[in-house]
Each structure stands twice: as C-alpha cells, then as structure tokens.
C-alpha cells in the first residue's frame, strides 16, 4: 500500500470491544493475568508493552518499510537506545553537523561510558573511509543535516559501513518517510524525533527506532527500551499516531512552500547564501534528487553581515515565530549559532527556517519586510 493509505490505517483497526473508529488510548499500566498465570492479550505492564504504543510502533514500522520498531519518550532517547545497544570500546562515526544534542550525548555522556566517536564529514566518502577503525560498529548518518542542509549519500554510507562490518543508522527526522526511505537504500536502522514532522503539531515529544531486520541488534534496542524505561506515555503515542494520519500531505505542502521560500531568498540582495537541497546549485542537489521524493520543509540562509544583522532580521519577523524545533504546522525561525553555544560551527549570520503550512506568499511577504526593514 502507498504511504497515504498506511498513514491512515497502519496499526489501527476498529476497536473490537466497542466498535470505536478512533483507536482508544489504553492508559492502564497493568494488565490482568488469567487463572493459569498467562497473559491472554500478551500485555503485562505498560513499560514492557502497551496497546497504544504498539499501534504507533506498527504504524511507523510500516511507513519506513521495516521489520520492527521501538518507540521512545523523545528522539534523544531513541538515539541513546541505539548507542547503548553497542558496547563500551566500540567506535561510532557520526557527522560533524550532527543534531547538536546527539553529538553532545556521544561526547559528554557516552564517551565516559566507553563509546568512542569520530566526527567526520559524511557527505565525503573518502573522509568516512579514513575514519573507519577495526572496532567501528556504527556509522550514523543524518541527511538532510542540521542546519546547513548537507546531503549524504545513504546507499554509499551504508555500503562503507557494511564493508567495515558495521551498522548504518540514519536520523531521518528532516526527510520523514514521506520523502526518503533509508532502509530501502541500505541503512539498517532509521531513527526519528517524532517530536518534529511525524507528530507534526508541536505538542508532543517522542522518538522511534525502526529496524530493517528484527535481529539480535534490534532485540538489544528493544531490551534497552524496556530496561532503561524511556518509554512514551500512551497519550503521547496516541497524539503522535493522530498526527501521522496527515503526514504525507503536510510534508509535501511544506516542501512546496520551502521551495518557494528558498527561491525568494536566493534572489534577495541581502541574502548571501541559501541552503536548500532543492536549489540546483546546492552541492547535494543531485544526490538529494535521487534519494528524496521532494526536498523537505527545512532550509537555512545567511544574511549579509554577521550575527547582529541576522538577529535583527529574526527580530523583525511577524508571522514566523522565533523558536527552536521544527516540523510543525507553523513556521519557525531560529538563530542557530546562539542556541548551539560555544564550539558551534554554524555561521553566525545563519538563520534556519522550519517552513509550515501557511500560504507561501504570506511567508515570503514576512521575510521580505524583515530583510528590507531598517
């Protein structure tokens, strides 16, 4: 079935007990045992499994074309479960411009635990090859990346990983399963911050790991989910599942809007660079055109001048909201270097946009007045 159909139906069925068309939220933390001690419905305790969480896992597994999925209370918890399923002494290759929180997780939390990480430019195959070590067990790819919208060739990274005897995991948060299928391109695992496009309404945190095979490594991820306990609440799962129903239509509209905004910014005299993989002169455009259906709702641009000029533009917007995060129905603008803090490699004159579902003319008018203002 096609993604629009899966988004509405996968993991859901009419409730057999009541006929309810909308899936119920199973808030119960515990489930009755039969007289013989068995669990007739296969649920025992909500941290281990819960019907609402299972519905979300089934749905996202179907959307990514995987064999199994595990849901978490945040995107960070989902990624952490993958890292914790490795062993102390293992080596990970991750992108320089990895989602900042995950880069810090690797270097501040997991390095002391014994996980080694090399940060490399993952859009450059030669650099990845050079970073491979005998103990490399995972190559983590994030494409498009944050905030420069760099593109990595997933099939190529996966091939390098497999030659090295390592797994390839892809943070697919920016692209979503609507635009990109990392598992079909050779990745072993896909991770999403469902906080972003998948839930889509800026009202629930969550994460998911989807695996191509329900193999021993995924079983470790599942064990980490249950034993470390960063599981999402049934209500959060329900909200996320509700958001998924419109995911394909939201993401396509956001991609169309972002393309128009990118074209406007590229033609503006006060914009010195526009980073959007849909623009033909973007260095990753060709690979993006091959591995993505459209180019997504995220873009960034650099304002003539420095941090002060960029901040001044962000200060003048009226329709965009100055806030972090992305993937919601409303458009957001963010000065990344200042939120990333010391050590950030992000250019100080860069502003990142999460383009929402407003009319593109209104978004462009807002950016136009903000760029042209005093």
Ligand X SMILES: *Cc1c(COP(=O)(O)O)cnc(C)c1O
Among 11, 23, 51, 75, binds ligand X (CB under 6 A): 75
CA dihedral for 161, 207, 345, 329, sign (positive or negative): positive
In the complex, the smallest distance separating the C-beta of residue 47 from ligand X, rounded to whole angstroms, is 19
CB neighbours of residue 21 within 10 Å = 9
Q: Are 337 and 328 in contact (CB under 8 A)?
A: no
Return d(Cα 172, Cα 194) in angstroms, integer.
10
Q: Which of 101, 165, 306, 373 binds ligand X (CB under 6 A)?
A: 101
Q: Is 99 in the site for ligand X (CB under 6 A)?
A: yes
Q: Which residue, 211 or 271, has its beta carbon nearer to ligand X?
A: 211
What is the closest distance, in whole angstroms, from the C-beta atom of residue 196 to ligand X in the complex?
A: 5
Taking CB under 6 A as the rule, does residue 171 contact ligand X? Answer: yes
Q: Which is nearer to ligand X, 97 or 153 (CB)?
A: 97
The answer to whether 186 and 155 have CB atoms below 8 angstroms apart is yes
Catalytic residue among 150, 156, 196, 336: 196
Respond yes or no: is residue 171 known to be catalytic.
yes
Report the distance separating Cα 189 and Cα 212, nearest Å: 6
Residue nearest ligand X, Cβ-based: 75
Alpha helical stretches, state H, the chain: 3-9, 51-64, 75-84, 100-104, 111-113, 125-131, 154-163, 176-179, 216-228, 234-244, 247-266, 285-291, 307-316, 336-340, 360-372
Instruction: Pick one of 193, 198, 317, 333: the residue that binds ligand X (CB under 6 A).
Output: 193
| Binding segment (CB under 6 A) for ligand X, from list 97-105, 154-162, 309-317, 339-347 | 97-105
Is 179 among the residues that bind ligand X (CB under 6 A)?
A: no
Site membership for ligand X, residue 205 (CB under 6 A): yes
Residue 203 annotated among the catalytic residues of the structure: no
Partner residues linked to 30 by β-bridges: 45
User: CA-CA distance, 244 to 52, in Å (whole number)?
Assistant: 14
Does the annotation mark 99 as catalytic?
Answer: yes
Nearer to ligand X by C-beta: 271 or 337?
Answer: 337
**196 forms part of the interface with ligand X (CB under 6 A):** yes
Q: Catalytic pick from 43, 90, 97, 99?
A: 99
Size of the site for ligand X (CB under 6 A): 16
Please identify which residue in 144, 147, 207, 356 interacts with ligand X, judged by CB under 6 A.
207
In whole angstroms, give the CA distance from residue 115 to residue 92: 7
328 binds ligand X (CB under 6 A): no
Tokens 């496009």 — which residue?
Answer: 197
Is 146 a binding residue for ligand X by CB under 6 A? The answer is yes
**Residue 36 CB coordination number (10 Å):** 6
Candidate segments 24-32, 48-56, 74-82, 350-358, binder of ligand X by CB under 6 A: 74-82
Contact flag: residue 173 with ligand X (CB under 6 A): yes
Q: CA-CA-CA-CA torsion for 302, 306, 311, 314, nearest 10 degrees?
A: -20
Instruction: Name the residue nearer to ligand X (CB basis): 210 or 271.
Output: 210
As a whole number of angstroms, the distance between CA 52 and CA 36 comes to: 26
Catalytic residue selected from 12, 39, 47, 242: 47
Structure tokens that stand for 340 in this block: 């990333």
**What's the maximum distance between 2 C-alpha atoms anywhere in the chain?**
77
What is the closest distance, in whole angstroms, from the C-beta atom of residue 325 to ligand X in the complex? 7
Rounded to an integer, what distance in angstroms lies between the CA atom of residue 371 and that of residue 268? 9
Catalytic residue of the set 90, 97, 153, 171:
171
Q: Which is nearer to ligand X, 146 or 302 (CB)?
A: 146
Name which position in 85, 136, 195, 255 contacts ligand X (CB under 6 A). Answer: 195
If one counts every other C-beta atom within 10 angstroms of the C-beta of residue 1, the result is 10
347 in contact with ligand X (CB under 6 A): no
Whether residue 196 lies in the annotated active site: yes
The reply on whether position 76 binds ligand X by CB under 6 A is yes
Rounded distance, CA 320 to CA 317, Å? Answer: 6
Q: Which residues are catalytic?
A: 47, 99, 171, 196
Residues at the interface with ligand X (CB under 6 A): 74-76, 99, 101-102, 142, 146, 171, 173-174, 193, 195-196, 205, 207
């Amino acid at each position: 079935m096609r993604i629009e159909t899966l988004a509405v139906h996968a993991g859901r069925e009419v409730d057999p007990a009541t006929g309810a068309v909308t899936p119920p939220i199973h808030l119960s933390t515990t489930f009755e045992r039969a007289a013989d001690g068995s669990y007739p419905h296969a649920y025992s305790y909500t941290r281990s499994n819960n019907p609402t969480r299972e519905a979300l896992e089934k749905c996202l597994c179907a959307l990514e074309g995987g064999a199994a999925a595990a849901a978490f209370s945040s995107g960070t918890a989902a990624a952490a479960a993958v890292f914790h399923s490795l062993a102390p002494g293992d080596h990970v290759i991750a992108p320089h411009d990895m989602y900042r929180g995950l880069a810090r997780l690797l270097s501040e939390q997991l390095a002391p635990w014994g996980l080694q990480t090399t940060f490399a430019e993952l859009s450059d195959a030669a650099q990845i090859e050079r970073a491979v070590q005998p103990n490399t067990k995972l190559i983590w790819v994030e494409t498009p990346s944050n905030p420069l919208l760099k593109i990595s060739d997933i099939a190529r990274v996966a091939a390098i990983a497999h030659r090295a005897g390592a797994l390839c995991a892809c943070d697919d948060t920016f692209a979503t399963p609507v635009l990109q299928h990392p598992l079909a391109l050779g990745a072993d695992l896909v991770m999403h911050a469902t906080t972003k496009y998948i839930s889509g309404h800026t009202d629930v945190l969550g994460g998911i790991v989807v695996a191509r095979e329900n193999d021993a490594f995924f079983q470790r991820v599942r064990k980490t989910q249950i034993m470390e306990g960063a599981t999402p609440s049934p209500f959060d799962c329900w909200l996320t599942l509700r958001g998924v129903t419109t995911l394909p239509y939201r993401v396509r509209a956001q991609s169309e809007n972002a393309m128009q905004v990118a074209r406007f910014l590229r033609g503006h005299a006060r914009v010195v660079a526009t980073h959007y993989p849909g623009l033909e002169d973007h260095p990753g455009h060709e690979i993006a055109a091959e591995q993505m259906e459209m180019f997504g709702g995220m873009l960034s641009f650099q304002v003539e001048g420095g941090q002060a000029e960029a901040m001044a533009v962000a200060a003048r917007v009226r329709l965009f909201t100055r806030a972090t995060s992305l993937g919601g129905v409303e458009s957001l603008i963010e000065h990344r270097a200042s939120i990333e803090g010391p050590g950030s490699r992000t250019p100080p004159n860069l502003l990142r946009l999460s383009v929402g579902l407003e009319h593109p003319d209104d978004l462009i008018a807002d950016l136009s007045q903000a760029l042209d203002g005093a």
